[in-house]
Amino acid sequence: MKIERLELALVKLPLVHFFETSFGRIYDKTFIIVRVDGGGAIGFGECVAEQDPYYSAETTETAWHVISEFIAPRIVGVDVIHPREVFAALKGIRGNNMAKAAVEMAAWDLYARQRGEPLARVLGGTRTKIASGVSIGIQDSLDDLAAKVEQELAAGYRRIKIKIKPGWDVDAVGMIRNRFGSIPLMVDANAAYSLADADHLAKLDRFDLMMIEQPLDYDDLSDHAALQKRLKTPICLDESIKTVRYGELAIAAGACRIINIKPGRIGGFTESIRLHDLCAARGVPVWHGGMLESGIGRAANIHLATLPNFSLPGDIAASRRYFNPDLIDPPIEVAPDGTVAVPDGPGLGVAIRHDRVERATVRRASFAPAVV
Ligand code: OSB
Ligand code: MG
pLDDT score recorded for residue 371: 66
Spacing, Cα 213 to ligand 2 middle (Å): 6
Q: Which residues line ligand 1 (CB under 6 A)?
A: 55, 135, 188, 190, 238, 289-292, 315, 317
Adjacency order of strands within the sheet including 361-367 = 41-46, 24-38, 5-21, 361-367
Residue among 16, 323, 287, 348 at smallest CA distance from 132? 287
Closest CA to 214 of 233, 205, 206: 233
The predicted structure's pLDDT at residue 322? 98
Domains 5-116+353-367 and 122-341 agree in fold: no
Q: Active-site residue among 29, 100, 161, 163? A: 163
User: For residue 346, what pLDDT is reported?
Assistant: 98
> What kind of architecture, by CATH, is found in domain 5-116+353-367?
2-Layer Sandwich (3.30)
pLDDT at 372: 55
Instruction: Report the separation in Å between the CA atom of 215 and the middle of ligand 2, taken as the mean of its atom positions.
Output: 9
Q: Above pLDDT 70, what percent of the chain?
A: 99
Cα radius of gyration (the chain): 20
Told to judge if 129 belongs to the known catalytic residues of this protein, a careful annotator would answer: no
Q: Can you give the residue ranges of every domain in the chain?
A: 5-116+353-367, 122-341
The residue whose CA has the least distance to atom 1 of ligand 1 is 190
pLDDT, residue 305, reads 98
Q: Is the pLDDT of residue 75 over 70?
A: yes
Are the C-beta atoms of 46 and 33 separated by less than 8 Å? yes
Rounded to two decimals, what is the model's pTM? Answer: 0.97
Measure 366 CA to ligand 2 centroid, in angstroms: 33
Band of residue 80 on the pLDDT scale cut at 50, 70, 90:
confident
Nearest to 258 by CA among 216, 304, 312: 312
2 is catalytic: no
Give the 3-state secondary structure of 133-198: CEEECCCCCHHHHHHHHHHHHHHCCCCEEEECECCECHHHHHHHHHHHCCCCEEEECCCCCCHHHH
Residues 6+ apart with CB under 8 A from 84: 270
Quote the DSSP letter at residue 245: H
Which residue's alpha carbon is nearest to atom 6 within ligand 1?
Answer: 291
Instruction: Give the separation between CA 19 and CA 15, rounded to whole angstroms.
Output: 8
Tell me the mean pLDDT in the region 341-356: 98
CA torsion, points 144, 145, 148, 154, in degrees to nearest 10?
-120
CATH topology of domain 122-341: TIM Barrel (3.20.20)
203 and 173 Cβ atoms separated by less than 8 Å = no
Rounded-to-integer distance, Cα 145 and Cα 56, Å: 26
> What whole-number distance in Å separates Cα of residue 342 and Cα of residue 336?
15
Confidence of residue 370 (pLDDT cuts 50, 70, 90): confident
Atom number, ligand 1, closest to the C-alpha of residue 190: 1
